[in-house]
């Protein structure tokens, strides 16, 4: 997996920051998006993020979330 890859969420993941449904549970399983970056450093210092992949989803209103590699599958 690398920045720019198209990915699909393969695990059932509930988020509460989905646009137009703030504070309501939304399951991301099956949604597709693009990897924007990998969290490996913060202000020049190395970090070990629990959810390192920063993914942008193409919903009616685009939004971002951080996920683990085992929650994603590359589709192109």
- Output the domain CATH number for residue 69: 2.30.30.50
How many independent structural domains does the chain possess?
1
- What pLDDT is recorded for position 61? 80
By the 8 A CB rule, do 61 and 47 touch?
Answer: no
Encoded tokens for 22: 């703030």
Q: Please, what are the averages of pLDDT over each run of 10 residues along the chain (76 residues)? A: 94 87 87 92 89 88 90 91
Tokens coding 1: 């997996």
pLDDT of residue 36: 94
Q: Which residues pair with 37 in a beta bridge?
A: 54
pLDDT of residue 42: 86
Domain, as residue range, for 69: 6-74
The reported pLDDT for the residue numbered 34 is 95
Asked if residue 1 is part of any domain, the answer here is no
pTM, rounded to two decimals = 0.82
SS3 state at 68: coil
Is 18 a member of any domain? Answer: yes
């Amino acid at each position: 997996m690398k920045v720019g890859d198209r990915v699909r969420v393969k695990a059932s993941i509930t988020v509460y920051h989905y646009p137009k449904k703030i504070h309501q549970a939304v399951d991301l399983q099956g949604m597709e998006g693009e990897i924007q970056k990998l969290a490996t450093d913060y202000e020049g210092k190395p970090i070990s993020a629990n959810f390192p992949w920063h993914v942008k989803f193409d919903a009616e209103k685009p939004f971002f979330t951080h996920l683990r590699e085992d929650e994603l599958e590359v589709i192109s």
